[in-house]
Amino acid sequence: MEKIENADFKHIGNQLLVWYKKNARDLPFRQTKDPYKIWICEIVFQQTRIQQGLNHYNNFIKRFPDAKTLAEADENEVLLYWKGLGYYSRAINVHKAAQQIMNEFGGVFPDEYDEILKLKGVGKYTAAAVSSICFDGKIPAVDGNFYRVLSRLFADDFDISNSRAFNYFSELAHLILPENVGDFNQAMMDLGSEICKPKNPLCGECPLNNDCLAFSLHKISELPVKKKKVKAEDLDLKYYFVHRNGQFLIQQRKDDFIWKKLFEFPPTISDDLIPFIKSIKTVNHKLTHKNLSIEIFNVEVDSEDAWNKFVTENEYKITNVEGSHEMSFPKPLENYIQSYDKAYGIL
């Protein structure tokens, strides 16, 4: 990097802005400079494709249009409106961050990068995005799109899994950074999503192909370089779907492990309920760094005495299919409830 840091690459960033002005995607959150809405959109689309998450974003903003409304909402309702987006810890964090905005910033969204970074669940990328788009901040919002575009643009084989990758590519980004950093950050997102894709990039349509070293050297498919692969942990879970006359038992998870604050079925049952096990279903489910093998036992309790005894001795909540629609469950358990509804047809 020492060899190129004095070179003039600003024309690349300006060229990208010209392309963005003509080709920017028409997205609802681009019609506003409201930092609250930009923040929510950045959190939603961190782990969700725009096409898949747009309706969820719109519904969330409609129900929680500002930090005050979100801060005052019940956490379970926030989780419910996050339903379908996954990674539910994000919902818990935006709820806590909204309360921070009300309690620590007097209800006004902070306008400085370092202050935005103090909000719960906000990292360097999100802080840079909100700061640049809403407050004319000058920090590149470096994420996977930046890694990929810059690796190819400079034919740079720096390992993106390296712990120093964020700082390294932030420095590279500054070499091409134009004056309008907010539009530049959004342009890089669009370029990485629509043109400079991980596989089968549309190099012929790329506005930067004349400056792209990887393109001229035919190395596009070799970049970016990622050497370290995180090995997924295998995890076995066991649940008991205890039901009687259309009702079933659930509890809310704590916030110290996967699926924080979501609802689940009992993980254990008493010995006197074992005779009521009718079937067992095994479901495999992948999380980012975990491979889950989930055993779900169908416990159809015919005895009112056994049901009442188990309910009395435990702190499980009783619900039904209709009631479950107002709660957030992990996807495998939500699917199981749907299959139960189809099989039994009881609401």
Could you report the per-residue pLDDT of 112-166, keeping only the tens digit for each? 999 999 999 999 999 999 999 999 999 999 999 999 999 999 999 999 999 999 9
Residue 344 has a pLDDT of 73
CA distance 153 to 224: 10
Residue 2 has a pLDDT of 46
Mean pLDDT confidence for 197-205: 96
Given 42, 233, 264, 313, which residue is catalytic?
A: 42
Closest-CA residue to 32 (of 109, 105, 100)? 109
DSSP summary character for residue 284? E
When pLDDT is cut at 50, 70 and 90, the band that residue 231 belongs to is confident
Mean pLDDT confidence for 66-90: 95
When pLDDT is cut at 50, 70 and 90, the band that residue 257 belongs to is confident
Tokens 């990929």 found at: 148
**Who wins on pLDDT, 5 or 240?**
240
CA distance 169 to 154: 11
Residue 213 has a pLDDT of 97
42 noted as active-site residue: yes
Mean pLDDT confidence for 67-72: 98
User: Taken in order 237, 285, 259, 314, is the CA torsion positive or negative?
Assistant: negative
Tokens 């596989």 found at: 199
Q: 71: part of which helix (H) or strand (E)?
A: helix 67-72
Contacts of 41 (CB under 8 A, 6+ apart): 29, 57
Domain boundaries, the chain: 10-222, 233-344
- Whether CATH 3.90.79.10 fits 233-344: yes
Contacts of 74 (CB under 8 A, 6+ apart): none
With a cut of 80, say whether residue 8 has pLDDT above it. no
Q: Is 14 left (phi over 0), alpha (psi -120 to 50) or beta?
A: alpha
Residue 3 has a pLDDT of 44
Share the mean pLDDT of the chain: 94
Residue 4 has a pLDDT of 54
Q: Which is it for strands 290-300 and 233-244: parallel, antiparallel or unpaired?
A: parallel
Torsion of CA 21, 27, 31, 34, to 10 degrees: -120
CA distance 238 to 69: 37
Closest-CA residue to 310 (of 344, 340, 266)? 266
Mean pLDDT confidence for 30-50: 93
CB atoms within 10 A of CB 97: 24
**Who wins on pLDDT, 330 or 8?**
330
The CATH H-level superfamily of 10-222 is Hypothetical protein; domain 2 (1.10.340.30)
